[in-house]
Chains A and B, each alone.
Chain A
């Protein structure tokens, strides 16, 4: 492993709730009046896909906002197809927010011709050059209605492209996410894939025969109702050591305990995890998750160096906010030459467990988070 530089997001900008509006207002004031913003959202039935657009159109002239809608087709038999009407409603609302010519779609292929998952590779190639963003001073990625297999490679690729801009005129990159525990509880994955896989471009060295002797250390970010997913990710990795990350502190002070209870059998009886291996990070702070993961991964790499090093694998079956922290840790370590992988398992689609009637109400109660990942404030 190469020498690791200072953690990039030791200081960071993260605003949430009402603070997002104030922050965006202030931010818009600081820039040239001719500058434009680009918002990237996912086309989905979750009304939270509109959260970022609503916040931005409240502070920006709609003519200054371009929207790229990422379209991912889960196939004709996906359970999500039941909600095509809701998807169209969301798109219609979006089209009313900005002039229609400023909304463009980009398609992400989810399956190969023979039905194999190709989502993350396809998502990574949606943006190929930083030139695609010339004329934009800010790029916002609203990950609220994007699956991890899409927003992980998209955000990583954007960071990579913007990091490669040499003349210092790179746009700012923000990630937005609307968090609602109730909506998350209602939207469940269905038809989980038989096998987990690594997200492109985070395969690390775990699959290499030349690195087979190195112990694999798995850092699963725990969230509710993920036992099948965790078991299958475990089967993929077959780690020597497991360090679960619990969301603690959290709004519900018992959440961490409840998660341990939920996965008691899997973690302790089947996988025999050591209790001292648990890592904790605030459920509302992605950057803390980033810091904790980064520190733990580097610690293992150093401790296992005499054995030839280690292969770290992260999986983020947690809230989207915390998963952004996992992505930042993986991206930074990958850039520094570390062997880091992100394991993930996809589902055939999503289902609502309850009625769809009060989705809009729940979405309006969700809390918008905005994370500034690269650009002016880190210069």
Chain B
């Protein structure tokens, strides 16, 4: 395959075939997700997220060929930091990798077993039989790779601890080698797969199976040996794509894993979609809950936004560096980050008289605001600062007029203006200004990182669009800096495309779109109130925790089937990261489940990117939004 022209466009990192490229593009910040301590290696860990959050990349990092490559290039500047972090958690050292990572994806034909015309017990035996065979094959191959031996030629050098023979019962005799296990596993896998894939599947009844997940016995230090020495200090099973198992298979596997004795390392990665609507609605960030052993990626990054931003910028720089046609060391250096440059002065200067005249008109003959207007007339600063201040003043004037009734007409002082012009209000003013005077709002690396909505793939897509322009500019020998206006245009196009994909991407796509669109329109309506009551804006809604419990209550859903559809649609929106859930937010003396819009959706709606503003809703309103759409009671400001 060819070298990448735009490395941001490379598909998910598990699809990057070269381990060196994979490592160079891997952001060491991902390791922040891992909890510290011994639990990582001797207790099962479940990684859960929407697609594209980086689970598979994280798992791949611990596979033998990647660890060997990391060790070989440990002094390389690009990989030093990653090596250091991996060494700190005891995975690698000067002498080489200390861990045998056995990677296995469940995105195979396991679910098909459930469709066979057997009783449940027989299906379970087949499931464990196939799992055992595949994990054994993966472990044998990984062990040889870790020791740079030939697969399958060197299988005879692999021997096993007594616990392995114990776990597999009479299948093997003590003294069996890797060759024996390999032969058994290949035969078993072949027999099951041939039967599943045959026309009619008539000979399925004679297929071999296993009572339990015996292959987990390989996960002990003394279980797997090469030339009579343990293969590695630690053995870790990396089970990816667990959501591809059926509900029954998944819960059976999770049960077996949960019952494991301490000392067995197993990581499971799955998408939110593995969860039922009920479980999905429980998946938001909740205060005070014990999530030991369960790592929700989006939740973690939401709790540590700076770490996420650092990770993204690091990944972006690594990708920019890897481009072959241009020499760019950092994406940040290519993106204009402010509107303070001379090219924007005229636009801001032109806005001031318009806003000023609107303010004067709104004030009319009220003496109340004279000091405020005078203070603003006298204000110094850049054209941008002054126009934002004027727009801030306009919002404050609207607020005062709105609550004028019943208040005394004491003149407001200039110091009150300063006091009330807080950063939230200024942010709303800047947003209003950008909309009214066609100024770019979505630009710069920080906003780009926020627009990722805690999803690395989403970030890559946006950064890829911007980097494409940078590469093209270089090709035609133009400056490789992308101005704020162009960034804004590109991000708006990406947002529009993201919206248009909803019906095609999500289950119940039309309903999901209608609901999310309604939430968006509602947020926009509330954000663009003249008095900016919810400054800097509303970007989400909330349902009470009690309503959320109703949506999880089977009895309630049976009595109210329309809410059953709503529960499924909300679950689909959350699973696809269109809505970001946060549980137990406190307001107005109650607890709420906040559902924020994915930040990329906010762009088309001209909404701010902060997470502060949300407004509570009843289930019946959401149902109407989902079916008939949101209809505003009054016209929006813009």
Q: Which one of B31-39, B103-111, B533-541 contacts A?
A: B103-111
Q: Are B197 and A191 in contact (CB under 8 A)?
A: no
Q: Are B15 and A234 in contact (CB under 8 A)?
A: yes
B509 — nearest CB in chain A belongs to which residue?
A191
Is A124 on the interface with B (CB-CB < 8 A)? yes
Q: Which of A92-100, A165-173, A197-205 contacts B (4 or more CB under 8 A)?
A: A197-205
Q: Which residue of A lies closest to B248 (CB)?
A: A114
Distance (whole angstroms) from the CB of A12 to the closest CB of chain B? 23
B250 to chain A, nearest CB (A): 11
Given the known inter-chain contacts A209-B133, A213-B151, A228-B504, please indicate yes or no for A269 contacting B565, CB distance below 8 A: no
Is A236 part of the binding interface, using a Cβ–Cβ cutoff of 8 Å?
A: yes
B208 CB, min distance to chain A CBs, angstroms: 15
Contact B510 A200 (CB under 8 A): no
| Nearest chain A residue, comparing its CB with the CB of B12 | A235
Bound complex: CA A6 to CA B247 (Å):
45
B111 touches A212 (CB 8 A): no
**Cβ–Cβ < 8 Å partners of A270 in chain B:** 9-11
Main secondary structure on chain A at its contact with chain B? mixed
The 5 tightest CB contacts between A and B, nearest first, are A269-B9, A272-B1, A191-B509, A209-B134, A209-B137
Binary B-proximity of A257-281 (CB < 8 A = 1, otherwise 0): 0000000010011111110000000
Please determine whether B246 and A114 come into contact, CB atoms closer than 8 angstroms: yes
In the complex, the chain B residue whose C-beta lies closest to that of A277 is: B1
Which listed residue, B133, B185, B186, B510, touches A190 by the CB 8 Å rule? B510
B9 touches A189 (CB 8 A): no
Task: State A273–B17 Cα separation when bound (angstroms).
Answer: 13
Q: Check B260 for interface membership: any CB of A closer than 8 A.
A: no
| Bound-state Cα–Cα, A202 to B198, Å | 9
Query: Apart from A121-B115, A212-B141, A213-B141, what are 17 other A-B pairs with CB-CB below 8 Å?
Result: A190-B509, A191-B505, A193-B507, A194-B271, A201-B199, A203-B112, A203-B193, A204-B197, A208-B189, A209-B138, A210-B190, A268-B5, A270-B9, A270-B11, A274-B1, A348-B507, A348-B509
A18 CB-CB contact with B under 8 Å: no
Q: Taking the complex as formed, is A192 at the interface, i.e. its CB lies under 8 A from any CB of chain B?
A: yes
B42 within 8 A of A: no
A160 B138 Cβ-Cβ under 8 A: no
Quick check: is A240 within 8 A (CB to CB) of the other chain?
yes
Minimum CB–CB distance for B563 against chain A, Å: 14
The listed residue (B112, B190, B244, B246) touching A121 by CB distance below 8 A is B112
Asked if A79 is an interface residue, CB under 8 A from chain B, the answer is yes
Q: Which residues of B contact A274 (CB under 8 A)?
A: 1-2
Chain A positions within 8 Å of B, measured between CB atoms, are 77, 79, 112, 114, 116, 118, 121, 124-125, 128, 156-157, 160-161, 189-195, 198, 200-205, 207-210, 212-213, 228, 231, 234-236, 238, 240, 265, 268-274, 347-348
Closest to A77 in B: B508
User: Is B197 touching A201 in the complex (CB atoms < 8 A)?
Assistant: yes
A152 to chain B, nearest CB (A): 13
Contact B505 A210 (CB under 8 A): no
Expressed in whole angstroms, the Cα–Cα distance for A195 and B507 within the complex equals 11
Smallest Cβ distance from B63 to chain A, in angstroms?
12
A128 to B202, CA, bound (A): 11
The residues of A that contact B138 with a CB separation of less than 8 Å are: 209, 212
Contact residues in A for B5 (Cβ distance below 8 Å)? 268-269
Query: Are A235 and B506 in contact, with the CB atoms below 8 A?
Result: no
Contact with A along B501-536 (1 / 0, CB 8 A): 101111111110000000000000000000000000
B406 touches A (CB below 8 Å): no
- Chain B interface residue count, CB cutoff 8 Å, equals 56
- B156 interface residue (CB < 8 Å to A): no
CB pair A77 B565 closer than 8 Å: yes
Interface centre among A128, A202, A273, A348, by most chain B C-beta atoms within 10 angstroms, is A348
What residues of chain A lie closer than 8 Å to B185, measured between beta carbons?
209-210
CB–CB B137/A210 < 8 A: yes
**Are B504 and A124 in contact, CB atoms less than 8 angstroms apart?**
no
A128 to B1, CA, bound (A): 44
Report whether A207 and B114 are in contact in the complex, using a CB–CB cutoff of 8 Å: no
Q: Which residues of chain B are near A79, meaning CB under 8 Å?
A: 509-510
Contact indicator B198/A271 (Cβ below 8 Å): no
A236 to B51, CA, bound (A): 13
**Across-interface contacts of B134 in A (CB, < 8 A):** 209
- Given A124-B199, A194-B51, the answer on whether A234 and B505 have CB atoms closer than 8 Å is no
Interchain CA distance A2-B177 in the complex, whole Å: 30
Which residue from B137, B464, B507 sits with its C-beta under 8 Å from A191? B507
| B483-507 interface with A by 8 A CB criterion | 501, 503-507
Q: B93 at the A/B interface (Cβ < 8 Å)?
A: no
Q: Which residues of A contact B198 (CB under 8 A)?
A: 201
A200 to B2, CA, bound (A): 34
* Cβ-defined partner of A205 (8 Å) among B193, B199, B273: B193
Interface centre among A160, A231, A269 (most CB of B within 10 A): A269
Do A160 and B199 form a contact, CB below 8 Å, given A207-B193, A235-B12?
yes
Q: Which A residues are CB-close (under 8 A) to B503?
A: 190-191
B14 contacts A by Cβ under 8 Å:
yes
- A238 shortest CB reach to chain B, Å: 5
From the candidates A190, A201, A202, name the one contacting B504 in the complex (CB within 8 A): A190
Distance between Cα atoms of A270 and B503 in the complex (Å): 24
Question: Would you call B364 an interface residue if the criterion is a C-beta within 8 Å of the partner chain's C-beta atoms?
Answer: no
The interface residues of chain A lying within 8 Å CB-to-CB of B137 are 209-210, 212
Alpha-carbon separation in the docked complex, A193 to B572 (Å): 12
Q: Are B115 and A228 in contact (CB under 8 A)?
A: no
Decide yes or no whether B196 CB sits under 8 A from chain A. yes
B244 cross-chain contacts in A, Cβ below 8 A: 195
Contact at A203–B504, with CB atoms within 8 Å? no
**Cβ of A157: which chain B residues have Cβ within 8 Å of it?**
199
Residues of chain B with a CB closer than 8 A to A156's CB: 199
Closest chain-B Cβ to A315's Cβ sits at a distance in Å of 16
Residues in B135-188 with C-beta less than 8 Å from chain A = 137-138, 141, 151, 185-186
Q: How far is the CB of B112 from chain A (nearest CB, A)?
A: 7
Please name all residues of chain B whose beta carbon is closer than 8 Å to the beta carbon of A192 when the two chains form the complex.
Answer: 504-505
From residue A104, how far is it (CB to closest CB) to chain B in Å?
A: 21
B200's nearest neighbour on chain A, judged by CB, is: A128
Residues of B within 8 A of A198 (CB): 109
Given that A207-B108, A210-B137 are contacting pairs, would A191 and B504 also be in contact in the complex, using a CB cutoff of 8 Å?
A: yes
**B4 touches A (CB below 8 Å):** yes
Measured CB to CB, the closest approach of chain B to A75, in angstroms, equals 10
A344 to B565, CA, bound (A): 27
Cβ–Cβ contact A269 & B189, under 8 A: no
A231 CA to B12 CA, complexed, in Å:
11
Question: Are B107 and A195 neighbours in the complex by a CB distance under 8 Å?
Answer: yes
Q: Within 8 Å of chain A (Cβ to Cβ): is B552?
A: no
Q: Does B49 count as interface, using CB distance less than 8 angstroms? A: no
CA distance A270 to B15 in the complex (A): 10
Bound: A194/B138 CA distance, A: 26
Q: Does B6 contact A (CB under 8 A)?
A: yes
List of B residues within 8 angstroms of A271 by Cβ: 1, 11
What residue of chain B has the Cβ atom nearest to residue A236's Cβ?
A: B107
Provide the residues of chain B in CB contact with A265, threshold 8 Å: 9
Residues of A within 8 Å of B197, CB to CB, are 200-204
Cβ–Cβ < 8 Å partners of B507 in chain A: 191, 193-194, 348
Complex CA gap A194/B505 in Å reads: 7
Contact between A200 and B273 (Cβ–Cβ < 8 Å)? no
A212 to B63, CA, bound (A): 15
Min Cβ gap B573→A in Å is 13
Contact with A along B24-44 (1 / 0, CB 8 A): 000000000000000000000
In the bound complex, residues from chain B placing their C-beta under 8 Å from that of A209 are: 104, 133-134, 137-138, 185, 189
Q: Contact at A272–B190, with CB atoms within 8 Å?
A: no
Whole-angstrom distance between the alpha carbons of A190 and B108 in the complex?
Answer: 25
State the Cβ distance, A190 to closest chain B Cβ, in Å.
5
**Residue numbers in B under 8 Å from A238 (CB-CB):** 14-15
Nearest CB of chain A from residue B583's CB, rounded to whole Å: 24
- B104, B189, B199 interface centre (most CB from chain A within 10 Å): B199
